[in-house]
Amino acid sequence: SVAMPDPEPHQSPQLLLACRTGHVKSVTFSAVSDDASQPPRLSAVAEFGQRHPVIGLASSPDCGGPARVYAATATGLLRRLDDDLRQMDSAEKAAAAEMTSPAEVPAAATTCLTFCCSSADSSGERRDLLAVGHEDGTVRLASFAASAASCTDAAQLRAGCHVGVVRAWGDSDARLATGGRESDLRVWDVAAESCVFQAKNLPNDRLNLRRPVDVRDIRPIAGGQLLAVCTGHRELRLYSPGEQRRPVVNLAWSEYPIQSCCAIEAASAAAVAAGNSAGHLGLFDLRRPPAASSKSPAAAAAQLLGHFKPSCSGAVTALDAVIDAGLLFATSEDRHLRVFDLRGRRLLCQLYAKSRLAGLLPLSGVSELTRSSVRAAGDRVVKGLTASSSEGVSKRRLTDQLYLATPAVEGDAEAKAAKIDKKKAGAAPAAGRGPIKFSFTADM
């Protein structure tokens, strides 16, 4: 195979993708030049194996030193990635396979990961504290030292019967929010290891039936004073932990479970982007109504501002926004990374990642991106398809060209071409083989 050249020294990846195939892939957007811009570059920076799907990524803030990136798998592995985030060679892949031993697999599967805070121990060494959620409702607090390659368990919290999402904010006074199936929103004080807020479910419906709880994502707004929550029962909720336990805004959207949400604090005090299992992306204004009671949270002031077009072909798995650049990043089950313009809600670029995507993590270099550079990179991926279409090229030919234009993880262009030739050769029916015919007799 033909290996792709290493990126330029000044070009650092702007995004990391968590893949269910056991890979962590980086996405690098090149700067726009006068001649032409390069398409986004996709590289594998970590590999755990197919038995260890990556379910979450987290990074520490830049506190006088390089930011550290952590990855968690569904089988319970928690690893710190290399600082340079370069593509792995064969020796590093073999070493990673030895580290992922089945002996470390916990009793309950890991579901989520987030970074809590960073502090210095008694010796002055910097330590990072991460929260890992599990299916059995436990949240494990893991501590990483700068000189250690593995973590040590600091504490364990019991957050209900299931934990599907964990979010943290703050540094000196760190807070942690948890939620899951039949486990409503809870806010924890990380230092005291105690629950400081527990949400209360809405009253029964008009048939006097209990409303089921299914928290899919949590996002803090205004430093944690407000919490945006999306549920598997197509609801967007806004909580104010300092005032009441029930949501102050409850908005129903579409008819599909809402998988992920993201706070857009620059547009409004409570603007939220959300994506559901049908691939639809919407932008909502969840500003509180003038008079919202605890028993009947109003949604009159909450409204749908618009949809991001075009929608995804599969369920949305992760959302994240970069306010400075005005960009919204979305991953979905159709194995694509899409970049939208927050102002116009239009697609700027999409990249085929070749793996099922479970999450994404923007890095420090993503703030340097601009809408024009991302749009130019997206045009570069599909460059030449419009000209070929005007010449009457078949749809299958265009699909093959788009497949070849997609950047490969390993740069194996010869294997891609061989796969297309094999598909063309197998299109013709085999000699001597025809349709199956059935004959019926009079006795039947």
Q: Decide if pLDDT at 125 tops 80.
A: no
Q: In the prediction, which pLDDT does 115 show?
A: 92
Q: In the prediction, which pLDDT does 68 show?
A: 86
**What is the CA angle 96-355-411, rounded to 5?**
75
Identify whether 212 is part of a domain: yes
* Pairwise pLDDT comparison (267 vs 343), residue with the higher score: 343
Owning domain of residue 138: 14-375
Average pLDDT score over residue span 399-419: 58
Average pLDDT score over residue span 96-115: 66
Identify whether 381 is part of a domain: no
Identify whether 398 is part of a domain: no
The pLDDT tens digits of the residues spanning 24-73 come to: 999 998 765 444 457 888 988 888 888 999 999 999 876 555 678 999 99
**What is the CA angle 241-244-246, rounded to 5?**
95
Q: Decide if pLDDT at 407 tops 90.
A: no
The pLDDT tens digits of the residues spanning 306-364 come to: 999 999 999 999 999 998 888 999 999 999 999 999 988 999 999 999 999 999 999 88
Q: In the prediction, which pLDDT does 23 show?
A: 92
Q: Decide if pLDDT at 97 tops 80.
A: no
Q: Decide if pLDDT at 8 tops 80.
A: no
Q: In the prediction, which pLDDT does 293 show?
A: 52
Q: In the prediction, which pLDDT does 269 show?
A: 56
> Domain total for the chain?
1
Q: In the prediction, which pLDDT does 117 show?
A: 87
Q: In the prediction, which pLDDT does 411 show?
A: 47
Identify whether 259 is part of a domain: yes
Identify whether 232 is part of a domain: yes
Q: Decide if pLDDT at 96 tops 70.
A: no
Q: Decide if pLDDT at 207 tops 50.
A: yes
Residue 260: pLDDT band (50, 70, 90) is: very high
Q: Decide if pLDDT at 401 tops 60.
A: no
CATH number at residue 278: 2.130.10.10
Q: In the prediction, which pLDDT does 49 show?
A: 86
Identify whether 426 is part of a domain: no
Identify whether 241 is part of a domain: yes
Identify whether 439 is part of a domain: no
3-class SS string, the chain: CCCCCCCCCCCCCCEEEEECCCEEEEEECCCCCCCCCCCCEEEEEEECCCCCCEEEEEECCCCCCCCCEEEEECCCCEEECCCCCCCCCHHHHHHHHHHCCHHHCCCCCEEEEEEEEEEECCCCCEEEEEEEEECCCEEEEEEEECCCCCEEEEEEEECCCCCCEEEEECCCCCEEEEEEECEEEEEEECCCCEEEEECCCCCCCCCCCCCCCEEEEEEEECCCCEEEEEECCCEEEEECCCCCCCCCEEEECCCCCEEEEEEECCCCCCEEEEEECCCCEEEEECCCCCCCCCCCCCCCCCEEEEECECCCCCCEEEEEEECCCCEEEEEECCCEEEEEECCCCEEEEEEECCCCEEEEEECHHHHHCCHHHHHHHHHHHCCCHHHHHHCCCCHHHHHHHHHHHCCCCCCCHHHHHHHHHHHHHCCCCCCCCCCCCCCCCCCC
Q: Decide if pLDDT at 21 tops 90.
A: yes
